[in-house]
């Protein structure tokens, strides 16, 4: 399977949105919210600290990863934060996620980051195995409080 990893552009937005809905997070409820989601993606294209990489099979998008470079007050180097990583359901366990994450690791080294960090819900047991298989360690607990 020939997979290429490239930076996302405007024309990829509908496919990125479709994949995002696979992540079992709240999906937009109307056109107004869809526009908000689209603008959030566009923000990644105009901010030098943010990137979306897409995995393409031929010209079809089969996965993506979003990246934010964060400045930490107690570190001279940047931290790479990965808010989203998704591979299309039909093509999981074929090495696409690993390829996307290896691209991130290379990019983090090029950007002189000190580490890559991401969160993964307690329920995502398969994803935990995936991250461990590519050398990530569980290093913290996340605490959240809804304020809706």
Contact 84, 99 (CB under 8 A): no
**Least gap, CB of 132 to ligand COA (angstroms):** 8
Half-sphere exposure of 145 (CA within 13 A, CB side): 1
Check residue 20 for interaction with ligand COA (CB under 6 A): no
69 in contact with ligand COA (CB under 6 A)? no
What is the nearest approach in angstroms of ligand COA to the Cβ of residue 89?
Answer: 8
Nearest distance, CB of residue 41 and ligand COA, angstroms: 17
Q: Does 93 engage in binding with ligand COA (CB under 6 A)?
A: yes
Give the C-alpha separation, 46 to 77, whole Å: 22
Least distance CB 80 / ligand COA (angstroms): 15
Candidates 1-9, 29-37, 103-111, 120-128: pick the segment binding ligand COA (CB under 6 A).
120-128
HSE (side-chain half, CA atoms, 13 Å) at 98: 11
Residue 14 pairs with which residues in a beta bridge? Answer: none
Q: Strand 113-118 relative to strand 78-87: parallel, antiparallel, unpaired? A: parallel
Among 3, 94, 117, 136, binds ligand COA (CB under 6 A): 94
Instruction: Compute the C-alpha angle 91/101/69, nearest 5°.
Output: 135
In the complex, the residues that contact ligand COA under the rule CB under 6 A are 23, 85-87, 92-98, 120, 124, 126-127, 129-130, 133
């Amino acid at each position: 399977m020939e997979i290429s990893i490239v930076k996302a552009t405007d024309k990829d937005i509908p496919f990125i949105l479709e994949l995002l809905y696979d992540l079992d997070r709240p999906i937009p409820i109307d056109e107004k919210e869809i526009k908000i989601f689209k603008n959030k993606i566009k923000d990644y294209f105009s901010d030098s600290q943010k990137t979306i990489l897409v995995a393409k099979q031929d010209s079809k998008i089969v996965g993506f990863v979003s990246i934010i470079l964060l400045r930490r007050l107690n570190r001279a180097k940047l931290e790479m934060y990965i808010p989203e990583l998704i591979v299309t359901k039909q093509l999981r366990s074929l090495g696409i996620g690993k390829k996307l994450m290896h691209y991130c690791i290379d990019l983090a080294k090029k950007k002189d980051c000190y580490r890559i960090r991401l969160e993964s819900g307690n329920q995502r047991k398969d994803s935990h195995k995936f991250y461990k298989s590519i050398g990530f360690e569980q290093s913290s607990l996340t605490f959240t409080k809804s304020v809706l």
